[in-house]
Structure 1
Amino acid sequence: MTRILLILMAALAFAAGFLVAAPASWLHVLMPAFLQLNVSEGTLWKGSSQLIVNTQHPQALPSRIHWQWNWTPWPQLQINSDDLAQPLLLTLNGTRLSIGQSRLQLPASLLSSVHPLLASLQPQGNLSLSWPTFYANSPAAIDLQLHWQDASVAVSSLRPLGSYVLDLQLAKSSSLQLRTEHGPLQLRGQGSFGATQPWSFTGEAYSSPEYFAALQPLLHLLGPVHDGRAAIRLQTAP
């Protein structure tokens, strides 16, 4: 009996040591399909990696992410990056997982993955995605905001085109609203998307008279132009 107990204790000690030293690459199995870790260093509990947004045109975030687990008073994963305005905290309180508020800087070239039309425009500038604290698997809607600042596209020599805000409400049936903060190119519209429904967007683009000649080629690329306004219709498969 004593021998069996010693063997079990040795096995548990080996398993604990192996788990403590678990490589950072193990996090890959926990990542959603659209995110991928690359060149990971450290362990499952404290390490760093390059984060890649795995879409039709995969792109790596400019800065590496760093993570560390804390265990008191609740299990908490802290994620840091130069691209985050403040550390991102994932806290497990009982059976509830909360995701802390933060803001993430992204390259505007990621917009190329949303729709072939945007890919053809080759968007440039700075994206900033912000969100409040929310609980995973909560039925409550989550409000996110995406800013596109100093926006420009490769097919237009007029730069910048402006700054724009996309308000997203994530729910069972999610919605989005596009509005212009400022700039010569005015954009507005609304859309919807969900796990079982296509992503769709309808809107319009226009400019003030002094910029119309410079923006006319771009307006015609965005959609049919009537009275100086381009009608935008986008849709993708779910």
Structure 2
Amino acid sequence: MKWVRQLWPFALIALAVLVWNYPVYAVSGKIETASGGKVQVLSSSGSIWAGQMQLGLSDGARVYSIPEAVQWRLKFGQGGNWLAIAVEHPKLVAPLHLGFNGEGITVDGGELRMPASWLGATGAPFNTIRPEGLLQLSWAAWQSGGGLQTTLKWLDAQSALASIRPLGEYVITVTGNPDTRIDMTLTTNKGPLMLEGSGQWENGQRFVFNGYASAQERSKEALTGLLSQMGRLEGDRYRLGVF
């Protein structure tokens, strides 16, 4: 039909514009869906080759903007990858590099440092506990099919509900293979507030975690208010995440 032949150049242009702006149009919704609405894209600009996004954290009622935008740059045929993406943000110690090749996805090791107070923007229980201090997330290089190793540290840990400062230093370690099983452990390095726990996720099953919070004898009275917001009392410990 003649009108179809006349419209195909415009359809081609529209398709090219869509592909060119793919991260802007498609990634925004995927980020929000994957995070359960906790992470939202407030604005974005750029193209498939280079762009940026302003992210925010939501507690379900309000959205709190994360300072500085996340930037990305795409490159072809770099470091043995068909496609490589470099992601930058001031809280990343170095740009995050992701690669795509015939064997799957590769991720270079890296580290992210951010204020623990940002967690308060994600809602309960953090908006009540109001954590302070530094969160340090580090990960080893990973490739599809291989094991991962990630560590999250809460350094100089503090809370608006506790007069004792600092509360201590805590570590969450995640290891395993995303295709089969992932294990998580929570340990206390030091401090009057003691946190411990372990969790597992197996392919096809829900994540199961058992964690407890307690206080050293001399600090129990000062930390009772905080502990009661972290979980439910069971014996002389509080089970994390039970409200």
Which category describes the TM-score, using the shorter chain as reference length?
A: 0.7 to 0.9
Q: Please state how far the C-alpha of 1:132 moved relative to its aligned partner.
A: 1.4
Percent of matched pairs sharing the same residue: 25
Q: Please state how far the C-alpha of 1:235 moved relative to its aligned partner.
A: 5.7
Q: What is the aligned counterpart of 1:78 among 60, 83, 86?
A: 86
Distance 1:99 1:92, change over 3 A: same
**Quick check: 1:23–1:42 contact (8 Å CA) kept in 2?**
no
SS at match of 2:24: helix
Q: Please state how far the C-alpha of 1:123 moved relative to its aligned partner.
A: 2.0
Name the counterpart of 2:210: 201
Question: What TM-score, normalized to structure 2?
Answer: 0.74
Asked if 1:231 is matched to 2:232, the reply is: no
Matched residues in 2 for 1:182 and 1:88: separation? Answer: 31
**Quick check: 2:197–2:209 contact (8 Å CA) kept in 1?**
no
SS at match of 1:71: strand
Distance 1:25 1:155, change over 3 A: same
**Quick check: 2:45–2:52 contact (8 Å CA) kept in 1?**
yes
Name the counterpart of 1:147: 153
Q: Please state how far the C-alpha of 1:164 moved relative to its aligned partner.
A: 0.9
Letter in 1 for 2:72: W
Name the counterpart of 1:51: 55
1:80-127 Cα shifts (integer Å, max 9, x gaps): 110111111111112511122111223324545888444432222221
Q: Please state how far the C-alpha of 1:16 moved relative to its aligned partner.
A: 8.4
Distance 1:224 1:19, change over 3 A: closer
Name the counterpart of 2:221: 213
Question: What is the RMSD computed on CA atoms of the aligned residues?
Answer: 3.5
SS at match of 1:160: coil
Unaligned runs of 5+ in 2: 1-5
Name the counterpart of 2:42: 38
Asked if 1:102 is matched to 2:103, the reply is: no
Distance 1:33 1:54, change over 3 A: farther
**Quick check: 2:174–2:185 contact (8 Å CA) kept in 1?**
yes
Name the counterpart of 1:25: 24
SS at match of 1:165: strand
Question: What TM-score, normalized to structure 1?
Answer: 0.75
Asked if 1:162 is matched to 2:161, the reply is: no
SS at match of 1:120: helix
Matched residues in 1 for 2:12 and 2:122: separation? Answer: 48
Name the counterpart of 1:4: none
Matched residues in 2 for 1:201 and 1:39: separation? Answer: 38
Name the counterpart of 1:3: none
**Quick check: 1:174–1:192 contact (8 Å CA) kept in 2?**
yes
SS at match of 2:226: helix
Q: Which of 72-81 and 185-194 deviates more?
A: 185-194
Unaligned runs of 5+ in 1: 1-6
**Quick check: 2:43–2:55 contact (8 Å CA) kept in 1?**
no
Matched residues in 1 for 2:143 and 2:208: separation? Answer: 24
**Quick check: 1:56–1:113 contact (8 Å CA) kept in 2?**
no
Aligned pairs, number? 226
Asked if 1:176 is matched to 2:184, the reply is: yes
